[in-house]
Amino acid sequence: MTFKTPRKLTLKDVADNLNVSTATISNAFNRPDQLSANLRDRILSECENMGYFGPNAAARSLRTGRTGIVGVVLSDRLSYSLSDPVANQFLKGMADVLDAHEYNMLLLSSNPLEQDAQHRMQASMVDGFIVYGHKPQQCHNAPWLMPNKHVITVDGFISGCTSVNIGNYQGAKAIVIHALRHKPDKIAILGLSLLSTNRVCRMQSDELLEEAASISVQRLNGYLDALNENGYGVSSENVWNIPTNSHKQAYQAAREALTIMDRPQLLLCMSDRIAIAAIQVALQMGLRVPEDLQVVGFDGIPEGANLHPSITTIHQQSEEKGRIAAELFLGLREAKDVVLETELVVRESCPE
């Protein structure tokens, strides 16, 4: 005896069974705002009873040329990005908007570089890309660099693409001006991803990444300009490069900075994570914060507020960056570059 496989229900089958139009069934799944809540609930309930779970996504993609998926490119490893509080806030803000418009995200890492075949596959799976923290030195022939691709960049710039950034230079200047009220004799900078290297090391000025593509170089220039304008100078020997925003590498850099012969009285840290590690090193060395050492951070993550001493920092609108990036991608706002303001938050590590 042979058994016949039952034919899969089509959108038209379901519409005929429920005595409604195919557009009504499609709206129940894809455009709920077009139906009353009661009608939509009834249709979804009856569809479930019939074993029908929505129009075929692959077929819809072929008809419309859209997949309903945005590729979110993260500049670091996925495991690192998902543990980074700033990246987490950005992803949450973006997800809030995408969820509301029934869009999905595909998380992609630009580190390490993907193979060409994988690039082509990624490009075919998504309607475009939101690129977070673009690092040109990592990306060659990436699908988000292809012409005619719909791309939004966040915390970085790609020629011809709409971008969402914060005032990195202005925020860096503001926190230096505040910190100089304590009139420190020596200053050190714990920088983040300033150089194209995976080593914790001191900076050589001719090794700096391109300013236009690096938010860290923008912050460094904000620090240096504020210092120079107030009669302070910092040599390259007192600027450390920390490759990733990790506690281990930040701890190493802070330890080196605080054990040099002319120990600094002020540490300018390019992230709150770096500042947290620096305070830990200082306390373990018996230094008092802020009496012996002032420390400032950047980002405004919750951990910095909960630490004792709490961290003076520049707060950035990470969730708002994500929301705006998603709205730009979906065409919900005008396609023009956005620069969000930052806010100086004064706490115990460098008080008034």
Per-residue pLDDT tens digits for 102-118:
899 999 877 644 444 45
Q: Write down all domains in the chain, each with its CATH number in brackets.
A: 69-166 (3.40.50.2300), 168-316 (3.40.50.2300)
Q: Is there a contact between 131 and 71 (Cβ–Cβ < 8 Å)?
A: no
User: Half-sphere exposure of 148 toward its Cβ, with a 13 Å CA cutoff?
Assistant: 0
Q: What are phi and psi of 8, to 5 degrees?
A: -70, 135
* Site of tokens 């195919």: 22
pLDDT tens for each residue of 83-101: 889 999 999 999 999 999 8
- Quote the pTM value: 0.79
Q: Is there a contact between 307 and 276 (Cβ–Cβ < 8 Å)?
A: yes
> What is the reported pLDDT for 116?
47
Q: Is there a contact between 295 and 275 (Cβ–Cβ < 8 Å)?
A: yes
Q: Is pLDDT of 4 > 50?
A: no
pLDDT tens for each residue of 251-306: 999 999 999 999 999 999 999 999 999 999 999 999 999 999 999 999 999 999 99
pLDDT tens for each residue of 296-346: 999 999 999 999 999 999 999 999 999 999 999 999 999 999 999 999 999
> What is the reported pLDDT for 60?
53
Q: Is pLDDT of 217 > 60?
A: yes
pLDDT tens for each residue of 218-258: 999 999 999 999 999 888 899 999 998 999 999 999 999 99
> What is the reported pLDDT for 139?
61
Q: Is there a contact between 318 and 215 (Cβ–Cβ < 8 Å)?
A: no
Q: How far apart are CA 233 and CA 79, in angstroms?
A: 38
* 293 contacts: CB under 8 Å, gap ≥ 6: 258, 264, 265, 266, 267, 282, 287
> What is the reported pLDDT for 144?
78
For the segment 55-66, the average pLDDT, to the nearest whole number, is 56
Task: Quickly state the pLDDT bin for 120 (edges 50, 70, 90).
Answer: low
Q: Is there a contact between 53 and 14 (Cβ–Cβ < 8 Å)?
A: no
pLDDT tens for each residue of 142-170: 777 777 779 999 998 888 899 999 999 99
Q: 344 burial class (0-12, 13-18, 19+ CB within 10 angstroms)?
A: middle
For the segment 200-208, the average pLDDT, to the nearest whole number, is 78
Q: Is there a contact between 91 and 33 (Cβ–Cβ < 8 Å)?
A: no
